[in-house]
Structure 1
Amino acid sequence: MDIETCLWKQGQRLRAMRFRLGREGRRNRRAMELLVGWEGAAAEMEDQIRRIRGEMERQLVADIFTD
Protein backbone atom coordinates (compact mmCIF):
# COMPACT_ATOMS: atom_id res chain seq x y z
CA MET A 1 0.00 0.00 0.00
CA ASP A 2 1.47 3.38 -0.94
CA ILE A 3 1.80 6.38 1.37
CA GLU A 4 -1.06 8.32 -0.23
CA THR A 5 -3.48 5.45 0.36
CA CYS A 6 -2.33 5.17 3.97
CA LEU A 7 -2.80 8.90 4.51
CA TRP A 8 -6.22 8.82 2.85
CA LYS A 9 -7.35 5.98 5.12
CA GLN A 10 -6.00 7.81 8.16
CA GLY A 11 -7.90 10.91 7.06
CA GLN A 12 -11.09 8.86 6.78
CA ARG A 13 -10.61 7.59 10.33
CA LEU A 14 -9.96 11.11 11.63
CA ARG A 15 -13.11 12.43 9.93
CA ALA A 16 -15.19 9.61 11.41
CA MET A 17 -13.74 10.29 14.85
CA ARG A 18 -14.52 14.00 14.50
CA PHE A 19 -18.12 13.19 13.61
CA ARG A 20 -18.54 10.93 16.64
CA LEU A 21 -16.90 13.37 19.03
CA GLY A 22 -18.90 16.29 17.65
CA ARG A 23 -22.11 14.40 18.26
CA GLU A 24 -21.22 13.71 21.87
CA GLY A 25 -21.03 17.39 22.75
CA ARG A 26 -19.08 19.66 25.04
CA ARG A 27 -17.26 17.10 27.15
CA ASN A 28 -15.13 16.18 24.16
CA ARG A 29 -14.05 19.72 23.26
CA ARG A 30 -10.38 19.03 24.06
CA ALA A 31 -10.45 15.84 22.01
CA MET A 32 -11.92 17.82 19.10
CA GLU A 33 -9.15 20.41 19.41
CA LEU A 34 -6.52 17.68 19.29
CA LEU A 35 -8.24 16.05 16.34
CA VAL A 36 -8.20 19.30 14.38
CA GLY A 37 -4.47 19.55 15.03
CA TRP A 38 -3.90 16.00 13.80
CA GLU A 39 -5.95 16.65 10.68
CA GLY A 40 -3.89 19.77 9.98
CA ALA A 41 -0.67 17.80 10.35
CA ALA A 42 -2.00 15.05 8.06
CA ALA A 43 -2.97 17.62 5.42
CA GLU A 44 0.50 19.16 5.59
CA MET A 45 2.09 15.72 5.14
CA GLU A 46 -0.11 15.08 2.10
CA ASP A 47 0.95 18.43 0.61
CA GLN A 48 4.62 17.66 1.22
CA ILE A 49 4.28 14.25 -0.43
CA ARG A 50 2.61 15.83 -3.47
CA ARG A 51 5.37 18.45 -3.74
CA ILE A 52 8.10 15.82 -3.43
CA ARG A 53 6.44 13.56 -5.99
CA GLY A 54 6.04 16.50 -8.40
CA GLU A 55 9.70 17.44 -8.01
CA MET A 56 10.77 13.83 -8.60
CA GLU A 57 8.66 13.68 -11.76
CA ARG A 58 10.16 16.97 -13.02
CA GLN A 59 13.68 15.65 -12.37
CA LEU A 60 12.88 12.40 -14.17
CA VAL A 61 11.61 14.29 -17.23
CA ALA A 62 14.66 16.56 -17.17
CA ASP A 63 16.94 13.50 -16.99
CA ILE A 64 15.15 11.89 -19.92
CA PHE A 65 15.60 14.99 -22.09
CA THR A 66 19.27 15.43 -21.18
CA ASP A 67 20.16 11.88 -22.26
Structure 2
Amino acid sequence: MNDNWTADIEAELLRSGRYAPVLILVPPPEVGPPLRRILPGEYPSAEHAKLAALDAFAEMSRQ
Protein backbone atom coordinates (compact mmCIF):
# COMPACT_ATOMS: atom_id res chain seq x y z
CA MET A 1 0.00 0.00 0.00
CA ASN A 2 1.45 3.39 -0.92
CA ASP A 3 0.80 6.77 0.66
CA ASN A 4 -2.18 7.47 -1.60
CA TRP A 5 -4.30 4.74 -0.06
CA THR A 6 -6.24 5.16 3.17
CA ALA A 7 -7.97 2.63 5.38
CA ASP A 8 -10.75 2.61 7.93
CA ILE A 9 -12.53 0.10 10.12
CA GLU A 10 -16.22 -0.28 10.95
CA ALA A 11 -18.59 -2.69 12.64
CA GLU A 12 -21.70 -3.99 10.91
CA LEU A 13 -24.73 -5.01 12.94
CA LEU A 14 -25.85 -8.52 12.00
CA ARG A 15 -29.36 -10.02 12.18
CA SER A 16 -28.21 -12.00 15.20
CA GLY A 17 -27.65 -8.77 17.13
CA ARG A 18 -23.90 -9.33 17.09
CA TYR A 19 -21.35 -7.34 15.07
CA ALA A 20 -19.04 -8.23 12.19
CA PRO A 21 -15.69 -6.47 11.65
CA VAL A 22 -15.38 -4.47 8.43
CA LEU A 23 -12.19 -3.30 6.74
CA ILE A 24 -12.40 -0.45 4.24
CA LEU A 25 -9.52 0.28 1.87
CA VAL A 26 -9.74 3.53 -0.09
CA PRO A 27 -7.48 3.75 -3.16
CA PRO A 28 -6.68 6.92 -5.09
CA PRO A 29 -9.65 7.98 -7.28
CA GLU A 30 -7.89 6.92 -10.47
CA VAL A 31 -7.59 3.33 -9.18
CA GLY A 32 -11.26 2.84 -8.32
CA PRO A 33 -13.89 2.95 -5.60
CA PRO A 34 -13.34 2.01 -1.95
CA LEU A 35 -13.16 -1.69 -1.13
CA ARG A 36 -15.38 -2.69 1.78
CA ARG A 37 -14.76 -6.18 3.15
CA ILE A 38 -16.71 -7.85 5.91
CA LEU A 39 -14.28 -10.04 7.82
CA PRO A 40 -15.12 -13.39 9.42
CA GLY A 41 -16.36 -13.45 12.97
CA GLU A 42 -19.21 -12.19 15.11
CA TYR A 43 -18.64 -10.13 18.23
CA PRO A 44 -20.85 -9.02 21.14
CA SER A 45 -20.22 -5.29 20.61
CA ALA A 46 -19.27 -2.86 17.87
CA GLU A 47 -16.08 -2.06 19.78
CA HIS A 48 -15.00 -5.73 19.80
CA ALA A 49 -15.66 -6.00 16.06
CA LYS A 50 -13.66 -2.84 15.34
CA LEU A 51 -10.75 -4.18 17.37
CA ALA A 52 -10.88 -7.43 15.35
CA ALA A 53 -10.79 -5.38 12.13
CA LEU A 54 -7.84 -3.40 13.47
CA ASP A 55 -6.02 -6.65 14.31
CA ALA A 56 -6.64 -7.93 10.76
CA PHE A 57 -5.32 -4.69 9.28
CA ALA A 58 -2.21 -4.84 11.47
CA GLU A 59 -1.58 -8.43 10.36
CA MET A 60 -1.90 -7.41 6.69
CA SER A 61 0.60 -4.60 7.28
CA ARG A 62 3.17 -7.02 8.70
CA GLN A 63 3.05 -9.31 5.68
Query: TM-score w.r.t. structure 2 length?
Result: 0.37
Instruction: Report which of the two structures shows the higher radius of gyration computed on alpha carbons.
Output: 1
State the TM-score, normalized to the length of structure 1.
Answer: 0.35
More helix by share: 1
